[in-house]
Chain A
């Protein structure tokens, strides 16, 4: 291939009239596709407290605690659990979503996680 002086010039000049490829974030935000791995959200109505998510999390970002235990009319024991979720430790691998037998954990589409205070990154789902 021979050398051409200013080989990139035609392409570069064309770009004076093209639409820009960048987006002025944060004034305009991009949408994420479905299936995006954001932050885990837990539904306490579905959780059975098996602790599989806690065991499989690679970053020790989840804790499951028993909140209450009651027996209903038929004699069935109903337990309710809460999840403490440490956003600053989460690696967004979705292993908790995959392993939960009751599909109680779903990853949402949030990706803006900055906070001024570390306490704000500890989320409790009751």
Chain B
């Protein structure tokens, strides 16, 4: 029975099948919101109200011709998208959605799983750099270099931001942090600055406007993905969607109180909270322009990192006075 549960966990919910289907749904929500903000319709035709459009895009890309540049390093070029997708799907398993038993640590919920989650979410960024570098195309190389510069800018504020709930609850386990905020909902307000920094850093990690500098269409054509086509490009696009779902789930578990109640209520809470974070991300995408890479580095070290440090100071202060 346990073995069956493990397989269901990995393959169905919250594993492969659920992440795949839910991430296409989240992409649909993002596209419809973006369109509504811009006074237009978004996908309407494929499926009822365009719900099947992201799946249709994925299937179309899988069916296209897969071209590998002559001078590219073929082994690494082909392996990078698979490797990145595997990392993000693995990090999805660490989300505290369905607990076999609350107080017991298991292979998917243990002390320090925040760090593992942050590490697994950082792997795709290195994969993007490798993708750009092994393409040996000028635009791809420039895109790859920009990806690393961007990582240098947002990764530290993101780590500082996810530190504060961990320090407040005194635990490095996602399920514990979520349970703490479910027990004391008002303490979520103390972490608002950290939540804001986390959302901005997540937007940068997902490489969406205003931080989509590495694959800025009008400057470096496609950035790291310029030479990718067909199945590998489909995997990169799927990877971006899954990263959005996992990142939103990560932030909800840390700052918004997690997904209590077991299987069915946990699923409903997961959908509600991740959609709330996606709404904020979509609004951010609609109201800003793309900034330059040097402005991004200046912005994150002048504003984001100090704000995250301020949040840490607040949390340490509060912890001193909390019962």
List residues of A whose CB falls within 8 A of some B CB: 6-9, 12-13, 15-16, 18, 20-22, 24
Contacts and interface: CB of A to CB of B under 8 A. Distances in A.
Given A6-B287, A12-B286, 6 more contacts: A8-B286, A16-B36, A18-B39, A20-B40, A20-B41, A22-B39
A15 B37 CA distance: 5
Contacts of A8: 286-287
Given A9-B283, A12-B287, A22 B37 contact: no
B37 A16 contact: yes
A71 to B, nearest CB: 61
Nearest to B36: A16
Interface in B250-308: 283, 286-288
B interface residue count range (under 10 / 10 to 19 / 20 to 34 / 35 or more)? 10 to 19
Contacts of B288: 6
A24 B50 CA distance: 13
B11 interface: no
A22 B287 contact: no
Contact of B40 (A6, A9, A22): A22
A15 B38 contact: yes
Nearest to B287: A8
B36 A15 contact: yes
B41 A24 contact: yes
B41 A12 contact: no
A102 B34 CA distance: 55
B44 A9 contact: no
Interface in B25-71: 36-41, 44
22 contacts: A6-B287, A6-B288, A8-B286, A9-B283, A12-B37, A12-B283, A12-B286, A12-B287, A13-B37, A13-B283, A15-B36, A15-B37, A16-B36, A16-B37, A18-B39, A20-B36, A20-B41, A21-B39, A21-B40, A22-B40, A22-B41, A24-B44
Contacts of B287: 6-9, 12
Nearest to A19: B39
Contacts of A9: 283, 287
Nearest to B282: A12
Q: Which 7 A-B pairs have the closest CB atoms?
A: A8-B287, A22-B40, A21-B39, A12-B37, A15-B39, A9-B287, A20-B41
A7 B286 CA distance: 11
B199 to A, nearest CB: 13
A21 B36 CA distance: 10
A124 B36 CA distance: 47
Nearest to B33: A16
